[in-house]
Amino acid sequence: MEVFEPERALSLRFEDHNWVWTFALFPADGRTRLLSRNRIATPGASAPIRLFGLLVMEPGSLVMERKMLLGIKERAQRLAGGRGQAGPAAAART
The pLDDT of 31-57, averaged and rounded, is 89
Query: Which pLDDT score is estimated for 83?
Result: 60
Instruction: Look up residue 94 and give its DSSP letter.
Output: -
Nearest to 3 by CA among 27, 33, 23, 29: 23
Separation CA 9–CA 7 (nearest Å): 7
pLDDT (tens digit per residue) in 48-84: 998 998 899 889 889 999 999 999 999 999 998 866 5
| 47: β partners | none
Question: Which of 44, 45, 33, 3 lies closest to 20, judged by CA?
Answer: 3
Q: Are residues 36 and 50 in the same domain?
A: no
Same domain, 21 and 65: no
Same domain, 51 and 78: yes
Give residue 68's domain range.
Answer: 46-94
Interval 80-91 mean pLDDT: 57
* CA pair distance 74, 94, nearest whole angstrom: 12
Tell me, yes or no, whether 32 and 61 share the same domain. no
Shared domain check, 33 and 54: no
Provide the residue count of the chain: 94
Above 80 in pLDDT, residue 37?
Answer: yes
Q: Looking at per-residue confidence, does 91 or 51 come out higher? A: 51
Q: Residue 92 — very low, low, confident or very high, per pLDDT cuts 50/70/90?
A: very low
Task: Examine the pLDDT at 89 and tell me if it is beyond 80.
Answer: no
